[in-house]
Amino acid sequence: MKIRTFDFEKHYDSVIALWQASGPGVRISPSDSPDSIRHKLERDPVLFLVAEEAGALVGAVLGGYDGRRGMVYHLAVRQAEWHHGVGRRLLQELEARLRAKGCIKYYLLVTVDNSQAIAFYEHLGMEVMDLHVMGKVIG
């Protein structure tokens, strides 16, 4: 398996298909449109990673860093590849790249009913934080 930096022309359609097939844990929004992803890539393209096996996309993770904290968006692995270390390797590489940018802490969001994802992240050393997430659509 190879972990690579996302290439829009090569990977966009496959990544969107992966995210759409990932069930309720990954919610596709206007932020995932081609224009929005291109805009995201202008900021920190090295934080969008894909995992490929024999030339096929088997996983992807989109990360971000605002200069203070990191964020993990949309980690997904093709179901046939679950329990083969794909998600772990994607996160390890993302963490290394965040660290190289000076990031010392990152966050991710998991819906409260996604017990499988919570268990996965806890196994990797993350902990549930007692916070309320708030948001507002402004555009």
State pLDDT tens for residues 60-76.
999 999 999 999 999 99
State pLDDT tens for residues 112-131.
888 888 999 999 999 999 88
112-138 burial string, b = 16+ CB within 10 Å, else e?
eebeebeebbeeeebeeeeeeeeeeee
Side chain identity at residue 42, one-letter code: E
The pLDDT score that the predictor gives to residue 90 is 97
Quote the CATH superfamily of domain 2-123.
Answer: Gcn5-related N-acetyltransferase (GNAT) (3.40.630.30)
Higher pLDDT, 137 or 24: 137
List the domain boundaries for the chain: 2-123
Question: Contact at 8 Å (CB) between 28 and 36?
Answer: no
Higher pLDDT, 31 or 24: 31
Predicted structure pTM score: 0.91
Name the pLDDT band for 25 (thresholds 50, 70, 90).
confident
The pLDDT score that the predictor gives to residue 79 is 84
As a whole-number percent, the residues of the chain with pLDDT over 90 amount to: 76
